[in-house]
């Protein structure tokens, strides 16, 4: 009998502990809505206990480790680099400001260069154009490395795809003609491209709108007789 009472007390204590843990759940929009020692979880909009950390890898995605407090903090949301500090860039998938691993080539090790699209150091390879690479490879503009071509021509791709000569891989066809795109886009090589102009009003006064390529071009000089 005493054993049953003891087990019952243990269960009651466990339930009480769980209730206490959730008794202070608070809806929030940002960290300012939470108590000290808590942060606002963006996914649940609930105040959660802050997690101690040594480095950013100890924290959840979308958080960083504050070097002074050793506490995981939420990163600020961004949409482009203008939202971030000068030594940061906006990560296009996480939409958070991340520290740039480099800004110029001198920030990298010898035989490396600073990729200013990814703000990271990459190994230098003597590749600037596709002709610098062996047969079946192309020069990646992002990494300056010779990469394998997934396809050589459209025949290497399945139905509804074409071989992109930019990435040398099979890409879904978005359109066959302009009817496959909305009014702000036109069909160019199976891809809906944004129109640079629709009428002459969209161009500078010395330009005209080419309504085949939908771009502004300088007016040709008048021929003097």
* pLDDT tens-digit readout, 49-70: 777 787 777 887 777 787 667 7
Q: What is the per-residue pLDDT for 125?
A: 66
In this model, does residue 9 exceed pLDDT 70? no
**DSSP secondary structure string, 178-191?**
GGGS-TTEEEETTE
Whole-number Å distance between alpha carbons of 93 and 115: 18
Instruction: Break the chain into its structural domains and give their ranges.
Output: 22-74
SS3 (DSSP) at 38 = strand
Average pLDDT of the segment spanning 32-56: 78
Who wins on pLDDT, 225 or 132?
132
Q: Which has the closest alpha carbon to 108: 64, 143, 151, 147?
A: 143
pTM greater than 0.75: no
Give the sign of the dihedral formed by CA 35, CA 41, CA 46, CA 51: negative
pLDDT at 1: 52
pLDDT at 163: 92
Mean pLDDT, range 146-163, rounded to an integer: 90
Inform me whether the pLDDT recorded for 151 exceeds 90: yes
């Amino acid at each position: 009998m005493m054993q049953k009472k003891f087990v019952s007390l243990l269960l009651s204590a466990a339930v009480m502990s769980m209730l206490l843990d959730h008794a202070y759940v608070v809806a929030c929009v940002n960290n300012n809505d939470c108590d000290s020692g808590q942060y606002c979880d963006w996914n649940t909009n609930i105040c959660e206990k802050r997690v101690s950390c040594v480095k950013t890898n100890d924290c959840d995605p979308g958080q960083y480790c504050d070097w002074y407090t050793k506490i995981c903090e939420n990163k600020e949301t961004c949409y482009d680099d203008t939202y971030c500090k000068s030594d940061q860039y906006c990560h296009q998938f996480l939409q958070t400001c991340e520290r740039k691993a480099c800004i110029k080539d001198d920030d990298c090790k010898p035989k490396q260069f600073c990729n200013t699209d990814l703000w990271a150091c990459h190994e230098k390879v003597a590749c600037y154009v596709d002709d610098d690479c062996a047969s079946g490879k192309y020069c990646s503009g992002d990494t300056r490395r010779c990469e394998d071509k997934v396809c050589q021509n459209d025949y290497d791709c399945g139905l509804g795809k074409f071989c992109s000569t930019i990435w040398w891989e099979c890409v879904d066809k978005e359109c066959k003609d302009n009817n496959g795109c909305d009014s702000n886009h036109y069909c160019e090589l199976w891809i809906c491209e944004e129109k640079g102009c629709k009428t002459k009003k969209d161009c500078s006064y010395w330009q005209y709108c080419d309504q085949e390529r939908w771009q502004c071009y300088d007016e040709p000089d008048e021929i003097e007789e």
